[in-house]
Amino acid sequence: MTVRREPLRIANCSGYYGDRLSAAREMVEGGPIDVLTGDYLAELTMLLLWKARARDPEAGYAVSFLAQMREVLGTCLERGIKVVVNAGGLNPAGLAAKLRELAALGGLRPSVAHVEGDDLLGRLPELQSRGHDLAHLATGRPLAGSGVQAVTANAYLGGWGIAQALNAGADVVVCGRVTDASLVVGPAAWAHGWAPDDWDALAGAVTAGHIIECGTQATGGNYSFFTEIPDPVHPGFPIAEVAADGSSVITKHPGTGGAVTVGTVTAQLLYEIGRPSYLNADVVARFDSVRLDQQGPDRVAVGRVTGEPAPATLKVCLNHRGGYRNSATFVLTGLDLDAKADFAEATLHDATGGPAGFAAYDLRREHGGGCDRLTLTVKDPDPEVAGRGFFSAVAGSALAGYPGLYLEHATARATEYGVYWPALIPAAEVTAVTVLADGTRLPVPNPPTAKAGPLLTDDAVPPEPQPPLGAVPGSAPQRPGRPEPYEPRLGRTVRLPLGTLLGARSGDKGGDANVGLWARDERAYRWLRDHLDVPRLRALLPESAKLPVSRYELPNLLAVNFVVHGLLGDGVAASTSADPQAKALGERLRGCLADIPEHLVDLPRGPYDSPPDE
């Protein structure tokens, strides 16, 4: 193939399974692009796809992708736009076959390849017999002897299978569980002719992939300062223009809603990360080397990123059946809310038998909106116990409870839930295979690796080794150009919400949650870095008070990232939290009050949300 000289325009049209269906058409028709990508998978999605495949063995993939291709496949073939997605889920071969059928109905003949090898479910006994214990990354408990019967087990593959398929002439590449960033790494490596040890270039592509993988979260969606965006409704999906050296420009089609600023890109860079060393299957990208620059309206340049050799281990996402769950929400209004909450708790304990009556029993109280809500969630292996039994006990106490009692949610039907089990496997044990349209199978060589270490991915990050309470591990070492310590001026402080000064973005990392905060100038960053430590975070977020917390500094991004270990229990599918993906954690933190130096408030802003020069 001819190595490309100009940047490769890689567009995203899906951030998750259920994202805006019209996005593919908007990206193809809205302006020139070279590659259309879509991310459809997360830990919870794999469980949902397993349920779909249990009903229909031919299923197990994201059916919404087929609906999108009905609208754009012909145009993509006509314009030479490559399509690369992970919509294959648990059945990439099945989705590739369905796409060929769909294309034939329209008189189209695309070359559709798929990448497989990530599904390890059938290999688990063999792998365990050879000494791979697939220990849970948070607890260290080996899979063998745990009583757990996995229903899915998928390793996170890299981008070289995608590059191999494109190099063989594929128009569409359907993947199963690759890392989300691989959807950008593969096309960029193919177009620019990178070698597996072009670490800096690959790290740049991983960074660009992480920025655009969640769709409109890079163009103003879920953005702390959304009131500053002139047209926040119906934001355009992002495009990464990836250059031959791995640097990129993040942009969107002209005339679309939202915005691409240093702030929106910073927010997405902080989403669902842990250490500044962001490990992927093909490379370790040093996010503490990332520098952003606003080139103009809706154009943010991402400079060269430092890359290091790939880790020697891949993460495996296993899911298993956890049992059945049910919940009931009681609304507390008027006077004596604390006494009503105590009364409700005692009544529930009496009616249901309390924790002894169920495998799990979780009672949570939420405040706000002029009333409180008390939610009891129970789990049990028996659907009748968690379903009709629980509902009957709750309903039977309704007229004997506190004054004004009414139920906002209660049902006699329990729902099945799954449990996430993260583990590691040596990369050498996993062989990706590129399957071409004619059935040719091409094994994908593994990239050169460094010493063993976990693979951290964007949407399914294994928990880090948990530090002792109060520890602040991972703070960035002294680096050239790192801002000086904050020196408070003489003068007053003002008690204001943290969000007056700082943006935040939070998300789930398996059973952990991350929350990244960033400032928009160096003076505010120095205050953030020196003020917000782990003890202060625990004071502001009481639910983290008894949990291990890691803290990391990213001075180039003017940001600090926290990881609260164990906040989400066994992960999204099993969490009893009202916010099981920790989406609101960052905004809650921004709403907390702090004593902010008066001179830092109302600092002047540049026209594109850029830090001012000092």
Is the predicted pLDDT of residue 463 greater than 70, yes or no?
no
pTM: 0.90
Taking each helix axis from N to C end, the angle separating 64-79 and 92-105, rounded to the nearest 10 degrees, works out to 60
Is 488's pLDDT higher than 70? no
CATH class of 321-418: alpha beta
How big is the CA angle at 431 (ends 425 and 434), to the nearest 5 degrees? 145
Q: Tell me the helix, strand and coil percentages in the chain, rounded to 5.
A: 30, 25, 45
Tokens of 453: 């270490």
CB 242 within 8 A of CB 37: no
CA distance 423 to 314: 9
Residue 464 has pLDDT above 50, yes or no: no
Which is nearest to 297 in space by CA: 32, 607, 604?
A: 607
Closest among 154, 87, 86 to 117, alpha carbons compared: 154
Using the predicted structure, report yes or no on whether residue 471 has a pLDDT greater than 50: no
> How large is the average pLDDT for residues 441-460?
69
pLDDT for 203-221, tens place per residue? 999 999 999 999 999 999 9
In this prediction, residue 409 has a pLDDT band, given cuts at 50, 70 and 90, of: confident
477 alpha carbon, distance to own chain's centre: 26
Q: Which residue, 529, 535, 536, 516, is CA-closest to 485?
A: 529
pLDDT band at 449 (very low <50, low <70, confident <90, very high): confident
Q: Is the pLDDT of residue 28 over 70?
A: yes
Structure tokens at 187: 């096309």
Query: By mean pLDDT, which of 44-48, 165-169, 195-199, 431-435 is the weakest?
Result: 44-48
Which pLDDT band, with edges at 50, 70 and 90, does 484 fall under?
Answer: low
- Whole-number Å distance between alpha carbons of 30 and 236: 9
Orientation angle between helical segments 182-192 and 160-167, nearest 10 degrees: 40
Asked if pLDDT for residue 610 goes beyond 70, the answer is no
Give residue 1's pLDDT: 59
Dump pLDDT digits (tens) for 68-96: 999 999 999 999 999 999 999 999 999 99
Where do we find the tokens 């080139």?
A: 295
pLDDT band, residue 370 (cuts 50/70/90): confident
pLDDT on residue 491 = 67
pLDDT of 473 reads 39
Distance CA 154, CA 156 (A): 7
Percentage of the chain beyond pLDDT 90 is: 84
Q: How far apart are CA 432 and CA 443, in angstroms?
A: 6
**Residue 148: CA count within 13 A, CB half-sphere:** 25
pLDDT at 262 > cutoff 60: yes
Model confidence band, residue 574 (pLDDT cutoffs 50, 70, 90): confident
Where do the H-state alpha helices sit in 56-148? 64-79, 92-105, 124-129
Does the pLDDT of residue 235 top 90, yes or no? yes
Could you give the CA distance from residue 225 to residue 468 in angstroms, rounded to a whole number?
34
Q: Which of 338, 340, 410 is nearest to 378 (CA)?
A: 410
By C-alpha distance, which of 132, 114, 91, 87 is closest to 427?
A: 132
366 confidence band (pLDDT: 50, 70, 90): confident
pLDDT for 125-151, tens place per residue?
Answer: 999 999 999 999 999 999 998 999 999
Check pLDDT > 50 for residue 164: yes
User: In this predicted structure, which of 16-30, 253-267, 600-614 has the lowest mean pLDDT?
Assistant: 600-614
Q: Are strands 112-116 and 172-175 parallel, antiparallel or unpaired?
A: parallel
Residue 244 tokens, joined = 């031959």
Reply yes or no on whether the pLDDT at 250 is more than 50: yes
pLDDT at position 472 is 40
State mean pLDDT over 245-262: 98
Judge contact between 228 and 609, C-beta under 8 A. Answer: yes
Q: Exposure pattern of 55-81 as b/e (b: 16+ CB <10 Å)?
A: eeeebbbbebbbebbeebbbebbeeeb
Digit-coded pLDDT (tens) for 491-512: 689 999 999 999 999 999 889 9
User: What is the enclosing helix (H) or strand (E) of 8?
Assistant: strand 8-12
Q: How far apart are CA 594 and CA 397, in angstroms?
A: 43
Please say if the pLDDT value at position 606 is more than 80. no
pLDDT at 477 over 50: no
Model confidence pLDDT, tens digit, residues 103-118: 999 999 999 999 999 9
Amino acid residing at 412: A
DSSP-derived 3-state class of residue 175: strand
pLDDT of residue 579: 87
Averaged pLDDT of the chain? 91
Instruction: For residue 576, name the pLDDT band (cuts at 50, 70, 90).
Output: confident
- Give 66 or 485, the one with higher predicted confidence: 66
Report the distance separating Cα 600 and Cα 609, nearest Å. 16
Whole-number pLDDT of residue 369: 66
Strand partners, 119: 154
CA 243-247-521 angle, to 5 degrees, is 145
Residue spans per domain, the chain: 8-118+156-310, 321-418, 493-600
